[in-house]
Amino acid sequence: MPNKYSIVNIITHFVIKLNTNFFYKIYFYLLSTGNKGAIFCLHRIVPRDGFSKWNQFIELTPTQLEKLIISLQKMDVVFVNLQTVHLLLTQKQTSNKRFVHFSLDDGYEDNYQYAFPIFRKYAIPFSVFVSTDFIDTPNPFIWWYSIEEIVNNELEFDLSDYGVVITKEDYLRSSKEAIFLQLKNLFLNHVDSNRGYFQYKTNSLFIQHQLTAPTMLNWVQLIEMHQSGICEIGAHTHTHARFSNIDMHTKELEVNKNKQIIESHTGIACRFFAYPYGHYTDIVNWQESESVMKKCGIDLALTTIPSLLTSSSSLVQMPRVFLNEMSNSYTLLTRISGVYQKNTQWDI
Ligand SMILES: [Zn+2]
């Protein structure tokens, strides 16, 4: 006896095969879950040969992005900017269609090089959430890519202040992926409380071995995207700080500095924010986060928690769903309808 979800699966595949706006409309009507639409979370848009090994879950090729847009255009959805998302959720504006918004985190240069021309070609609004410490700087500290470079090159890495010393023998004993994950865990939990130490240790290896980190956006590129009228620039903290690692005062400093730098370049108020990392364990204290958002004048704060997006969703805890190279029409339809969010158990 098939369960309810497998029947939904069959219907979903059937509707994708039919690929007409009429059947998408019926699908959304019959499988109405109260989901208003989807805010997609993207990071890097890079050609296949520029993909990394262990950060691939945040990478998407320009070809695949274009395919996803073309699939979405056939579905019964409307593409909106964040200002409209805010209006739709606060009931000041209504739509009987589900909405879709593309957001890109961190501020990688490929957003300008590859994503911007595609969004402009199809006149689709998008947003870029930047950590201002990464922008216009020769050595951006994108540590998740830095540790990948270090491990890939099998370099010795002395982080003895935290009881971790990676030696050549470790590369014989353990897989590179296991070493990467060990370092990722260490950085994720400690980098915000001792940034200078981790940055110094990482940069020393980068200089010594002439390693390269991803290129990040500069202000000329950001302003050009902003002035195109289809790109909103949002805050992402100044140093990409993980909220669960920092106190309330530091949260306010991080958001305010980030906002002020963005506003000084764009000349308009920055009212949107995306929590770095963005899951439950990266935020933890929701009450404190909510109060920081209010104090800093943030209207919409986006997480990476893939829950249903309804009119009762908190404006400072907005759900988002990831898109990457594995995403296809099925991914899109289940995320927009809310079938995916409703049928998956999320660990808190
Ligand atoms: Zn980020």
Mean pLDDT for 149-165 is 98
Q: Round to whole Å and give the CA distance between 343 and 329.
A: 18
Residue 83 near residue 127, CB atoms below 8 Å? no
Answer yes or no: is pLDDT of 348 > 70.
no
In percent, the amount of the chain with pLDDT more than 90 equals 80
Answer yes or no: is pLDDT of 346 > 60.
no
The 10s digit of each residue's pLDDT in 70-95 is 999 999 899 999 999 999 988 766 77
Q: List C-alpha distances in Å: 114 to 61, 216, 258.
A: 9, 13, 25
**Secondary structure (3-state) at 44:** strand
Buried/exposed code over 28-38 (b: 16+ C-beta within 10 A; e: otherwise): beebeeebbbb
* pLDDT value, residue 287: 94
- All residues at 6 or more sequence positions from 38 whose CB lies less than 8 Å from its CB, including other chains: 98, 99, 100, 101, 309, 320, 321, 332, 335, 336
Mean pLDDT over each residue of the chain, to the nearest integer: 93
Q: How confident is the model at residue 20 (pLDDT cuts 50, 70, 90)?
A: confident
* pLDDT value, residue 345: 55
What distance in angstroms lies between residue 152's CA and the mean position of ligand 1's atoms? Answer: 22
Mean pLDDT for 280-295 is 94
Q: Residue 234 corresponds to which amino acid?
A: G
What distance in angstroms lies between residue 15's CA and the mean position of ligand 1's atoms? Answer: 34
What is the β-pairing status of strands 272-274 and 300-302? parallel
The 10s digit of each residue's pLDDT in 32-59 is 677 899 999 999 999 999 999 999 999 9
* pLDDT value, residue 114: 98
Q: Minimum mean pLDDT among 18-22, 116-120, 223-227, 330-334: which range?
A: 18-22
Query: Which pTM does this prediction carry?
Result: 0.94
Q: Residue 251: phi, psi to the nearest 5?
A: -60, -45
What distance in angstroms lies between residue 207's CA and the mean position of ligand 1's atoms? Answer: 24
Mean pLDDT for 25-31 is 81
What distance in angstroms lies between residue 41's CA and the mean position of ligand 1's atoms? Answer: 10
Q: Round to whole Å and give the CA distance between 272 and 299.
A: 6
The 10s digit of each residue's pLDDT in 179-195 is 999 999 999 999 999 99
What distance in angstroms lies between residue 115's CA and the mean position of ligand 1's atoms? Answer: 17
In the chain, what are the domains? 4-135+215-342 (3.20.20.370), 143-209 (no CATH)
**Secondary structure (3-state) at 83:** helix
The 10s digit of each residue's pLDDT in 317-342 is 999 999 999 999 999 999 999 988 88
What distance in angstroms lies between residue 22's CA and the mean position of ligand 1's atoms? Answer: 37
18 vs 205, more confident: 205
